[in-house]
Structure 1
């Protein structure tokens, strides 16, 4: 009997996994909540996992170019996180509105909302690209990069920031797909972009150096955007965008902006704090500490992105179930996703605490860089369980369209708490870069506790989008 039950369970898991990757149209407002979480989370986890694999592979090959190249990529990525913030902010708004319209069984209105989000996103990205191309060297200098790092790395920064349009569109359109419940399509588009990146990165770096890494990234992401657009306009999915959907809709643009603005500032506040910490590490520990920190952060991102998959699943389920007036189901979906994320993150904590040095040594053999990187990985990794819970709670609020509450939480925890604490520890108590490392898990734990509190208060249940 036990053997039969195990066989049936394995068969059920396999069928669920297969169904999640096929991208079949599902109604996530009915049926098993656990199955709904997995159907959305599996492709979302796989989607972001390959993106995180690319981040690590990219750093592996860039690491062969020396610590100046590592520092350049790290500092540039810190600034590009602002672009990601805008992309994620717009993506959050698109997911919330599209999910709500899908929950209301109105796919045409969902397509219109997604198209208007794209109009808004392209306009913003063009401005960012122009600024990045013109002021690349100044941006690196502002980040505290040494003169030789600025000289070698300006071209990398110029290309990466110049490609802001494709970065923004890639993540924005995936937010539209996720809101519609088509997580498999979001996964496939990011996989295409990341796989091409992984293939082109070592080839282009070999022939063009650091500049090649930037070109490979922009080309890879452009291919992902092309795939997305083909399916939005020519595919057979739930969302079918037409020319009329792109006609400027002032009220809808304002509605999207109302949701996206706090969400964008939410992530700008967070990434701005990371930029300040990267600058503090560079100032207090020099290029060696900065290189070690950047390698550690790439590994942190590697394991955080899959957890974002579960968090994004929670956001979609909240949006669609609120649209269908299934309030209790929305809440239960979030609590289940938080439970799964905490379990996953506990394993990551063990990995980082006990195996930090061999992980960092994969990317560099410079002992001083390894020492800084391992220390950063162990300290930052200590708070991973709280990261996982906090991410789900924050994304649940965002998915409901309540982007203001997480923005306030981020401002308090990052700017009023994390940054002052990092400076106090690094400079006031002379812990140098270690002090900056310690401030990260402490602040993330506070975010998790505050987000949990506001989620349980339940005001998100009455938000209208």
Structure 2
């Protein structure tokens, strides 16, 4: 048993979870800062319409991310469970098929996106004022989509091996490059929003190069060989089945964002779209630590489910709920106490500040509850429960949020305030529904464990 397998299956659970979750959490926070810093540079170097422009482009990024996670989450779950079964040959086929899939996806997104940029951003809600900013940013970003899916998917695979530190390093490289290049292209070369997009795709390229070097090193147990890249129908089908919930989470987020951009334009105009662009980036900083902890949890759950160590799974889940609740609670307290300081980071426009402070305070109210909902989703993915994970993935953003955002603005003439209130109400309702599902999952694990014994 190597050190990675020992980390997953033996020793203090708290230490194992921290060793896997801490690098993943740092990586997720870095990813959130990646987006926040980019928006700050654009807000201060381009202005409010620049922020609105990248808010319009946001669904495009989410769609690309969703397909990348479809492959990444599905393959990482399979790899973790097959590590527990010691099936190394199948692990190589899983990884090889995932590499094949994300390469095809990157080519498709890049060609179609670059060719049809204008109609895409119009459909996504760009107003006449925002259109040129969104187009300039999106067109360049589509070039980088050649290798974006590979980076996202491979980071999940790296974590599934227990090498969360290397996944973290790849993201930190991109983050540091992005800060430096944003400053150069926006404030020194005066390239505006185009400069921000070029900085982003070049910084992602840095992460891509690091991942390639990792795959060629002796740090990984994966073997890269042409025979493993040949598509295997049964493997790809299972990858998609497991990863579909992660895909649904992101796609539903994209659908909601497209829908929301139109609703915000109706009730609040360009300013409301810019406010949401900021709030989305800020709330990423709250959600990413949760995602990091969940990603640290999944290899432990998958491996121990594979070798039928159910008590270790249950103890891990309890720790995850505690950690996610504490972290998000601290984040919300900070957001509620210092909302104006947060908004001012992006732009000093008085209108943006007054609208942004009110909206931010409302949107983040129920965030501390979401650790429970996301733990239920992460557990379903790790156990390979495709249907349950799919339902939980669309519950908050589609099943609950969209009806609320249609109804609340019209109630008592709430208008834009009703839009912002839809966020915490959807959060609360999703947790109420997830709790019995999570209890059922834990009860099912008990039955499985007793049966095997």
TM-score strictly above 0.5: yes
Contact residue 263 and residue 404 of structure 1 kept, 8 A: no
Distance 1:309 1:180 in 2: 15
Q: Does 1:162 align with 2:165?
A: no
Aligned twin of 1:337: 320
1:148 match: 129
The answer to whether 1:63 aligns with 2:43 is: yes
CA separation of 1:252 and 1:214: change in aligned 2, threshold 3 A = same
Cα drift, residue 270 of structure 1: 3.1
1:214 aligns with 2:160: no
Q: Could you say which residue in structure 1 is the equivalent of 2:168?
A: 187
Which stretch shifts more, 410-419 or 146-155? 410-419
Please tell me the root mean square deviation across aligned C-alpha atoms, in Å: 2.0
Q: CA deviation at 1:24?
A: 6.6
**What is the match of residue 41 of structure 1?**
21
Q: Name the CA distance, whole Å, in 2 between partners of 1:300 and 1:155.
A: 25
Whether contact under 8 Å (2:105, 2:149) holds in the other structure is no
2:248 touches 2:393 (CA, 8 Å); kept in 1?
no
The number of residues matched between the two structures is: 441
CA drift at 1:247: 2.3
1:27 is paired with a residue whose SS is helix
Q: Secondary structure at the match of 2:221?
A: coil
Q: Displacement of 1:224 after TM fit? A: 0.7
- Whole-angstrom distance in 2 between the partners of 1:241 and 1:315: 24
CA distance in 2, matches of 1:246, 1:233: 15
In the alignment, does 2:77 pair up with 1:86? no
**CA offset digits 1:259-288 (Å, max 9, x no partner):** 233431232123322332233112210111
User: What are the superposed Cα offsets for residues 294-347 of structure 1, whole Å, 9 maximum, x if unpaired?
Assistant: 112111112221221111111221111111211221122112111111011111
Deviates more, 1:146-155 or 1:302-311: 146-155
Q: Name the structure 1 match of 2:157.
A: 176
Aligned residue for 2:413, secondary structure, equals coil
Structure 1 pair 429–140 and aligned structure 2 pair: CA distance change class (3 A): farther
Q: 1:412, CA displacement in angstroms?
A: 4.2
Runs of at least 5 residues in structure 1 that lack an aligned partner in the other structure: 1-22
CA distance in 2 between counterparts of 1:25 and 1:202 reads 43
Supply the distance in 1 between the matched residues of 2:290 and 2:436 (Cα, whole angstroms): 20
2:342, 2:376 → 1: CA distance?
30
**What 5-or-longer segments of structure 2 have no aligned partner?**
449-453
Q: TM-score of the superposition, structure 2-length normalised?
A: 0.92
Give CA-to-partner distance per residue, 1:42-72, whole Å, 9 cap, x none. 1111111111122111111100211111101
TM-score of the aligned structures, taking structure 1 as reference length: 0.90
The structural deviation recorded for 1:256 is: 1.4
Partner residue in 2 for 1:95: 76
Give the deviation of 1:116 after TM superposition: 0.8
CA contact (8 A) 2:70 2:239 kept: no
Contact 1:28 1:317 in 2 (8 A): yes
Report 1:69-148 matches (<5 A).
Answer: 69-148=50-129
Task: Tell me the distance in 2 between the aligned counterparts of 1:428 and 1:165.
Answer: 45
Q: Is the 8 A contact 2:125 2:261 kept in 1?
A: no
Aligned to 2:451: none
- 8 Å contact 1:263–1:403 — kept in the other structure? no
Residues 78, 278 of structure 1: 8 Å contact kept: no
**1:211-253 C-alpha deviation (Å, 9 max, x unpaired):** 1111111111112112112211233333333333212222212
Counterpart-to-counterpart distance in 1, 2:333 and 2:392: 28
Deviates more, 1:368-377 or 1:67-76: 368-377
SS in 2 for 1:365: coil
CA distance in 2, matches of 1:139, 1:294: 18
The 2-side partners of 1:416 and 1:49 are apart by 28
Partner secondary structure for residue 338 of structure 2: helix
Q: Which moved more, 1:218-227 or 1:408-417?
A: 408-417
Give the alignment of 1:53-452 within 5 angstroms.
53-64=33-44, 65-206=46-187, 207=189, 208-452=191-435
Q: Is the 8 A contact 1:136 1:154 kept in 2?
A: yes
- Contact 2:48–2:347, Cα closer than 8 Å, also in 1: no
| 114 and 214 in structure 1: CA distance in 2 versus 1, 3 angstrom threshold | same
Aligned with 1:28: secondary structure?
A: helix
What SS does structure 1 have at the residue aligned with 2:130? helix
What is the rounded CA distance, in whole Å, between the counterparts of 2:406 and 2:300 in structure 1? 39
1:137-174 CA distance string (max 9 Å, x none) = 11221122221321233121112133223221111001
Structure 2 residue aligned with 1:6? none
